[in-house]
Amino acid sequence: MPPKSRTALKEKANPRDVFTGAYYIDGDVATAYGAIAAGCKFVGGYPITPSTEAAEAFVRRAPYADALFVQMEDELASIETVLGASWAGKKAMTITSGPGYSLMMEGIGFGAAIETPFVIVNIQRGGPSTGVPTRAGQADIMQAKWGSHGDYGVIAIAPDSPQECFDLTIKAFNLAERYRAPVMLMADECVGHMTEKVIVPPADQIEIENRKAYQGPPGRYMPFKPDRDLVPPMVKAGSGNKLYITSHLHDEKGYPVEKSGRGAFNKRLVDKIRLNADDIIDITEEDVEGADVVVVAYGIASRVAYKAVVEAKKEGIKVGNVRLITVWPFPEKRIKEISKRVKGFVVPEINYGQIAFEVERCAHGNADVVLVPHGGASVHNPEDILDAIRLAAKGKGQHKGTIEFETRLAKRIFPSGLKPKKGEGE
């Protein structure tokens, strides 16, 4: 029987780390301010557009918060320094974008395997490869979940405004500390470079969490022995606990194991996120009850979609919207519930179908899913999303998987190109 669950230690933010006030800043800068407010003391990074403003803002503020930014030789090293810093007892983060994010996958898997709390900020840009460095994309969402090899659980959060960049960065640190897991802040270039008013509240209004402490006798600490919430307490290096931490498959003590069946240790890496999903998932809903069509979106696409939702309502279409604040773990139960009552979902995202298929999976064939794709380097035309809502509202009830909506841009650029087979799309 595992010991009674201890909970992460909650406390108010340190006033020294909170630069209270009203600012007119972009999402990148707000992310850095949020990290410092959350108690982040270490950032290892490598510069990459469009995330550099976040790193720069952190560097400027770091000396006043007893924090350190170190620019490493590459992203492979950056992510490792973050893991090292976290085990040394500091809250740590790295900031990057697409190409750097790909390089970090090795470290993300390592961090997940040794259950390290850390935050990765990915200001997504257009891909693949170097793609469109200065423009938005949302095509790294599946990579966030599946990017590194092997089984592990992650948490991913998608802010849609500079204010949320601040608030959700704090949330990201809190979740990382609570679950000893990687947390990704999956912003996009639009949100990162969007300048808006950001309120940084006083320190006593910001709640931060710290990793569960070990209270047993020194030398008896088991780094991977979980409590009932499946999360083990954590000590820092240099505290006399004879740590043995390895990237290999390991047992509760941390020693490598190769016997068959021991792979079950990996199950907890997945389960601690999956089984705590209700605690982690954060979505906002509007007019979902009684809706015929529900728009599911996240990040900048959710803001663009909002205009289409307003227009559709004017036309008399019963449309609601669900905005994913946490993208991973995915709100499977809620989407399933909604799917039983609606004709269709509309999923606009700046990629060629990632979360749309996740919605389709959770809809269990109860409702159509209309994907409004976008190739990146810009955002959707709200007219396209409006048309997609109209299409979903017709409710043909075909339930033949995801329907890819053909946007105005696609029609213009590929007028005689390869078309989807008849029956798919309109």
Task: Check binding of 101 to another protein (CB under 8 A).
Answer: no
Q: How far is the CB of 74 from another protein (least distance, A)?
A: 7
Specify the pairing of strand 402-404 against strand 368-372.
parallel
Our CB check for another protein shows the closer of 78 and 138 to be 78
For another protein, the closer CB: 44 or 153: 44
Interface positions, 30-49, toward another protein (CB under 8 A) = 41-42, 44
CB of 73 to another protein, least distance (A): 4
Q: Assign 60 to helix, strand or coil.
A: helix
Residue 139 phi, psi (nearest 5): -95, 10
Which residue, 15 or 397, is less far from another protein as judged by CB? 15
The span from the CA of 159 to the CA of 299, in Å, is 5
**What are residue 230's phi and psi, to 5 degrees?**
70, 5
How many other CB atoms are there within 10 angstroms of residue 321's CB atom?
24
With residue 338 as reference, give the H or E element that holds it. helix 332-339
With tokens 């710290």, the residue in question is 210
Q: What minimum distance in Å lies between the beta carbon of 239 and another protein?
A: 7
SS3 180: coil
The binding track of 110-139 with respect to another protein, each residue x by CB under 8 A or -, is: x-----------------------------
What letters, b where the CB count within 10 A reaches 16 and e where it falls short, cover 393-423? beeeeeeeebbbbbbeebeeeeeeeeeeeee
Shortest separation between residue 39's beta carbon and another protein, angstroms: 13
Identity of the residue, 95 or 346, whose beta carbon is nearer to another protein in the bound complex: 95
Closest CA to 282 of 336, 334, 337: 334
> Residues binding another protein: what is the number (CB under 8 A)?
44
Residue with tokens 């996120």: 273
Q: Is 246 in the site for another protein (CB under 8 A)?
A: yes
Q: Which residue in 83, 154, 294, 393 binds another protein (CB under 8 A)?
A: 83
Should residue 242 be labelled a site residue for another protein when binding is judged by CB under 8 A?
yes
Q: How far apart, in whole angstroms, are the C-alpha atoms of residue 141 and residue 147?
A: 9
Contact status: 81 vs another protein (CB under 8 A)? yes
Q: Nearest distance from residue 21's CB to another protein, in Å? A: 18
* Binder among 5, 130, 205, 239 for another protein (CB under 8 A): 239
Cβ distance to another protein smaller for residue 61 or 193: 61
C-alpha span between 135 and 144 (Å, rounded):
19
Q: What is the H or E stretch that residue 170 is in?
A: helix 162-179
Spatial neighbors of 411 by CB under 8 A, at least 6 apart, are: none
Tell me: does residue 96 bind another protein (CB under 8 A): no
Nearer to another protein, 45 or 348 (CB): 45
Stretch that binds another protein, among 50-58, 82-90, 286-294, 372-380 (CB under 8 A): 82-90
Please identify, using beta-carbon distances, which residue of 266 and 381 lies nearer to another protein: 266
The dihedral region occupied by 187, where left means phi > 0, alpha psi between -120 and 50, and beta the remainder, is beta
For the bound state, the minimum distance from the C-beta of residue 91 to another protein, rounded and expressed in Å, comes to 9
When the beta carbons of 81 and 143 are compared against another protein, the nearer one is 81
Q: Does 106 bind another protein (CB under 8 A)?
A: yes
Q: Which is nearer to another protein, 64 or 352 (CB)?
A: 64
Window 250-279: contact mask with another protein (x via CB under 8 A) = -----xx-----------------------
Six token digits for residue 57: 């803002």
- Give the CA distances from residue 335 to residues 340, 365, 391, in Å, rounded to whole numbers and listed in that order: 9, 12, 20
Measured distance CA(402)–CA(384) in Å, rounded: 16
Are 110 and 247 a contacting pair, CB within 8 Å? yes
| Footprint on this chain of another protein (rule: CB under 8 A) | 41-42, 44, 63-64, 66, 68, 70, 72-74, 76-78, 80-90, 92, 106-107, 110, 236-248, 255-256
